[in-house]
């Protein structure tokens, strides 16, 4: 088969984009566009380049031109839908994704972008239908399972979403997309250590990924809030034992055992994360010595536990009141964490019930076991 020089240039440009050599890809693409400025394939490749470099406005402009140059070009419509989503134009993105599906009804990627557009538009049932079709048309595509996971998470189906994440990771253990979806799923499910470790691994291999550092920081924040809450429980036990007049030796033994268990568990939970959290603690917001809410929420309860657990009865009332005031201030972070976590869990339950109800009305059957979603045979 004989290919044109332009085809070879576009193939080379896409390969360069795939390995992160964006500047080289831009030079190759500039030559192809100079020779064929109205090539839908070249313009779509340009839109893809802008997508990979995070230039949403330029991506949308190139995608619009690609669609105009090739109205029957499925990839151009898919990139157009992605660009519209980035611009917040969800209704237009749904329409563009629909045209992509019309042109490529058996394409998994077309159904994936339609699922994302419908998800952002708030139509969970149709998003689920598209995500399932994406898996059925290409059961070996990790991105199809990641798309299904995002839809299931939005629908409150956390267990099924985890199964979809595991399927994606089995298919593409080195790809960033499935790992990021897995980390987001773990964060929403309250598995903050798992999420933080996944984000840390991603940052090692994809340090320039858009939004990844902030997502990692958020996972670390959630993790510290969780452990601050557990430290507050140790302090609470110490305060109760002191107020009820428990003798110092058994009180100190009880609080000491709880504090030691907390320290061991904290160290275990932060295996491989301690250095990352310390760097984050020192460098966030550009001020190395600025007090951190997470650090205060961890240290103050442990100090309170030490004071009320080991001090003899009869402490001056000013010391007791001051310690309790500081303890109450430090409790704001774990209490806020608990309220947010319970709110998210309740919202997920409501969404799950609504999703199941709407799914039943539409005639679709929910399949909680991802491995049982049947594949679709496509024409040869």
Domain ranges, ordered by start, for the chain: 5-190, 215-337
Task: In whole angstroms, give the CA distance from residue 25 to residue 28.
Answer: 5
- Using the structure block, give the residue that is written with the tokens 């964006």: 22
Other beta carbons within 10 angstroms of residue 250's beta carbon come to: 10
Cα–Cα nearest to 269, from 307, 312, 219, 311: 219
Q: Chain-centre distance of CA 222, in angstroms?
A: 13
Residues in the chain: 380
Check residue 377 and give its pLDDT. 46
Cα–Cα nearest to 44, from 316, 32, 35, 138: 32
Question: For every one of its 380 residues, what pLDDT tens digit does the chain have, with 9 covering 90 and above?
Answer: 334 556 778 888 888 888 888 888 888 888 888 888 888 888 998 899 988 888 889 999 999 999 999 899 999 999 999 999 999 999 999 999 999 999 999 999 999 999 999 999 999 999 999 999 999 999 999 999 999 999 998 898 888 888 898 888 888 887 787 888 888 888 877 788 888 888 888 888 777 666 777 788 888 888 888 888 899 999 999 999 999 999 999 999 999 999 999 999 998 888 878 777 667 665 554 444 444 677 788 889 999 999 999 999 999 999 999 999 999 988 888 888 888 888 888 888 898 899 989 888 888 777 766 655 655 544 33
Structurally, what CATH architecture does the domain formed by 5-190 represent?
Answer: Alpha Horseshoe (1.25)
Check residue 199 and give its pLDDT. 85
Answer whether 305's CB lies under 8 Å from 255's CB: yes
- Using the structure block, give the residue that is written with the tokens 């009865």: 313
Check residue 5 and give its pLDDT. 59
Answer whether 115's CB lies under 8 Å from 130's CB: yes
């Amino acid at each position: 088969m004989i290919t044109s020089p332009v085809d070879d240039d576009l193939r080379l440009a896409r390969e360069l984009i795939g390995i992160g050599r964006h500047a080289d890809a831009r030079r190759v693409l500039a030559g192809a566009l100079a020779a064929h400025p109205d090539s839908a394939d070249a313009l779509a490749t340009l839109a893809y380049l802008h997508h990979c470099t995070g230039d949403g406005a330029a991506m949308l402009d190139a995608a619009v031109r690609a669609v105009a140059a090739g109205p029957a070009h499925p990839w151009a419509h898919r990139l157009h839908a992605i660009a519209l989503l980035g611009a917040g134009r969800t209704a237009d993105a749904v329409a563009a994704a629909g045209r992509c599906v019309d042109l490529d009804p058996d394409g998994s990627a077309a159904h994936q972008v339609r699922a994302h557009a419908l998800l952002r538009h708030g139509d969970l049932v149709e998003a689920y239908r598209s995500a399932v079709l994406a898996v059925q048309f290409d059961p070996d595509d990790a991105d199809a399972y990641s798309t299904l996971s995002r839809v299931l998470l939005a629908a409150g189906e956390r267990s099924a979403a985890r199964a979809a994440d595991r399927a994606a990771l089995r298919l593409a253990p080195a790809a960033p997309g499935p790992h990021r979806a897995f980390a987001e799923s773990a964060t929403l499910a309250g598995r903050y250590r798992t999420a933080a470790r996944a984000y840390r691994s991603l940052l090692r291999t994809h340090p320039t990924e858009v939004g990844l550092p902030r997502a990692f920081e958020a996972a670390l924040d959630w993790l510290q809030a969780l452990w601050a809450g557990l430290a507050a429980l140790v302090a609470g036990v110490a305060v109760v034992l002191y107020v009820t007049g428990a003798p110092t030796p058994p009180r100190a033994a009880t609080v000491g055992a709880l504090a030691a268990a907390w320290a061991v568990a904290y160290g275990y939970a932060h295996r491989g994360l301690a250095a990352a959290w310390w760097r984050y603690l020192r460098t966030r917001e550009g001020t190395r010595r600025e007090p951190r809410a997470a650090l205060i929420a961890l240290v103050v309860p442990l100090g309170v536990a030490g004071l009320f657990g080991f001090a003899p009865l009869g402490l001056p009332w000013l010391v007791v009141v001051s310690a309790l005031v500081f303890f109450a201030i430090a409790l704001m972070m774990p209490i806020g964490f608990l309220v947010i976590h319970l709110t998210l869990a309740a919202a997920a339950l409501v969404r799950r019930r609504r999703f199941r109800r709407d799914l039943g009305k539409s005639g679709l059957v929910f399949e909680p076991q991802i491995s049982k979603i049947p594949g679709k045979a496509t024409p040869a």
